[in-house]
Amino acid sequence: MARKSYIDAFDPEGKSLTICEKCGICLQQCPVMKMEKAESQAEIGCLLRGEETERVLNECTFCFNCNRYCPQGLRPYALIMERAVEKNRRTGKGLPPYIDYQLTGKTDSCIFWDVYASESAEEKAILDKWSIVPPKSPEVLFIGCIGRQIPYGTEHSRMFEGLPKYAPRNACCGELAYRYGDYQAFTETVERTREMLERLDTERLVCYCGSCANYLGNIWPNYHGVKLPFEIVSAWEWLWEKYQNGEITVERPINRKAVLTDSCYSSELGDGFLDAVRGLHRAVGMEVVELENNRFNNLTCGMVSVLRNNYDLREGVKETKKKMAQVLSTEVGDLNCYCPGCYIQLRGAAQKSNIQIHYGLEEILWAFGDEYPVPLEERAAKQTDLFIEKLKASFTA
């Protein structure tokens, strides 16, 4: 049965909140707050009782790292999300229009649909084709909101040539609704998308976006109680399998240093995903430069940190600056993002700092012989313009 709130996922075995030992280890290990023992225990006590905290709800960046440290196997992230949403309900007016605008299918107009509407006739025809349920196949490629912004390259990809593709325009993993605090919109997104995905006759769904792999294969079943009837794997892990098996080879080596920034969801997907990302970067010739905070201890890009203080965009900027400070400290001029959200959030700050920012999957596929004549950068610029228009309208209404 589908769960109805964040707090339901805090205790995956359905026990009472008393299972929490109030040890505070999750907050002590947090890469952002790094609390001492006494402070962490006081803060976790406030969270359990639904009381105002001194630091957590003002400083948490809403990544998933804390989940790895709970000795009881609880999910502190879900508890913090519940309290953050409650706080915003008490002190705010709900999701502002510029947040609603990013949620696929919640309103008649959303940022992704408006980007799709700006695509060429050929690209729109590809999206129409992807909306049709493909024939039975051992594997199917699912392309989410971001991948549908650059459909031409994926449709004509040599790497994905043998995979039937499925990507209805209103299908969505629900990440943004979930992480921005609209559980009702998330629930509706899951039900709508599950109905579409369950039409597939396949054994394994390959997700173009790592976030989709995390939500469809982890958040849906383990946090929300909805499990799909096939295996879920990310395109990164799928490509890494192909490379290790000798089924694909590098045609255009990329010989340079690249700083790799990890996404929030990587800690949920685990070592297999993280190793595949790094393995592919090294396989095509890149020297991977790690940030001070990486893998299971990474800092967020700042995109969802705006949940703090009633969706104050300045909260996201604070976290972006922390991430970029670490990038600049490496003195490496190229930044690779495997998460499309990180790419969109960091691109402006990177460009201002004369850092070349790259969408990692495009680069990896190019090295293996693919072409992306319309890069994500072109559509990211369009998406940014649309968001700014909505933001201005929100404050002038």
Residue tagged 């299918």 (tokens): 105
pLDDT band at 395 (very low <50, low <70, confident <90, very high): confident
Spatial contact of 271 and 67, defined as CB atoms under 8 Å apart = no
Strand partners, 207: 142, 234
Phi, psi (degrees; rounded to nearest 5) at 207: -95, 120
pLDDT tens-digit series, residues 157-190: 999 999 999 999 999 999 999 999 999 999 999 9
Q: What is the pLDDT of residue 18?
A: 67
d(CA 274, CA 167): 25
d(CA 349, CA 368): 29
pLDDT tens-digit series, residues 83-94: 999 999 998 878
- Helix, strand, or coil here: 104? coil
Angle at which helix 340-352 crosses helix 376-396, to 10 degrees, equals 80
Strands 356-359 and 334-337: parallel
pLDDT band at 16 (very low <50, low <70, confident <90, very high): low
Spatial contact of 50 and 86, defined as CB atoms under 8 Å apart = yes
pLDDT band at 15 (very low <50, low <70, confident <90, very high): low
Token pair belonging to 92 = 């705010």
Phi, psi (degrees; rounded to nearest 5) at 371: -125, 140
pLDDT tens-digit series, residues 343-380: 999 999 999 999 999 999 999 999 999 998 999 999 99
Q: Which domains does the chain have, with CATH numbers?
A: 7-91 (no CATH), 98-244 (no CATH), 257-396 (3.40.50)
Q: What average pLDDT does the segment 372-389 reach? A: 95
- Helix, strand, or coil here: 12? coil
Burial 51-73 (b: 16+ CB within 10 A, else e): eebebbbebbbbbbbbbebbeee
Which residue type occupies 116? Y
pLDDT score of 142 more than 70: yes
pLDDT band at 17 (very low <50, low <70, confident <90, very high): low
Cα 206 → chain centroid: 16
Q: What is the pLDDT of residue 397?
A: 63
Spatial contact of 78 and 17, defined as CB atoms under 8 Å apart = no
Q: What is the pLDDT of residue 351?
A: 95
The strand ranges marked E within 208-347 are: 231-234, 257-261, 287-290, 334-337
d(CA 88, CA 92): 5
Spatial contact of 369 and 346, defined as CB atoms under 8 Å apart = no
Average pLDDT of the chain, as a whole number: 95
CA dihedral (378, 384, 387, 391) in degrees, to 10, reads: -150
Spatial contact of 266 and 337, defined as CB atoms under 8 Å apart = no
Burial 242-271 (b: 16+ CB within 10 A, else e): ebeeeebeeeeebeeebbbbbbbbbbbbee
pLDDT tens-digit series, residues 294-312: 999 999 999 999 999 999 9
Token pair belonging to 120 = 């060429």
